[in-house]
Amino acid sequence: MISELSRYTLEEIKTDLLNQLEDIKRIASIDLEIDEIDLDGAVLKTPKLHTKYNNLFADSTISLKNLYSLREKTKLERWKYWNGKQSDRYYKENGLVHEKILKGDLEKYLAADEKLILISEIISIQKASVDYLEKCIKEIQTRNFHCKVVIDWRRFTTGH
């Protein structure tokens, strides 16, 4: 069991992170497009893009590390819950455990715990954001090379 407040808060965080990921994808599709007419402008834009995406990557990485910490704290909290070692107030908010759980079965309960599952889903979304930003940075790092190849090809095809 999980309190309605915890469920609502975690679902809200999950939705916010999904929206942030979609925003990053939308913005990156615009930012990373190379204007074939204005190649020198694209080259000059590269350092700004690199800074922008490095900052986003750093912020997202810190958030991911904080989520890993949250998962560990929550795992302890839920371990105490399933072992009957939480406070009366906690059980009042989250419901009572109406069965004796064997020590050997505790990992199964933790693996199926709704709160831990929600946090794992949140971590997966944040990890996807970090991975996506890392790929954007790699694309930005090769941007000038792509521009040079296009310029060289145009010179070759015009005979210059």
pTM of the model: 0.87
Burial state string for 118-146 with b = 16 or more CB within 10 A and e = fewer than 16: bbebbbebbebbbebbeebbeebeebeee
pLDDT digits (tens, 9 = 90+) for 27-63: 999 999 988 888 888 889 999 999 999 999 999 999 9
Evaluate whether residue 37 is within a structural domain: no
Q: Are 114 and 7 contacting, i.e. CB atoms less than 8 angstroms apart? A: yes
Domains in the chain, number: 1
Domain containing 63 equals 4-20+46-158
Q: Encoding tokens for residue 88?
A: 């009366």
Whose structure tokens read 């831990």? 116
**5 falls in which pLDDT band (50, 70, 90)?**
confident
DSSP state of 112: T
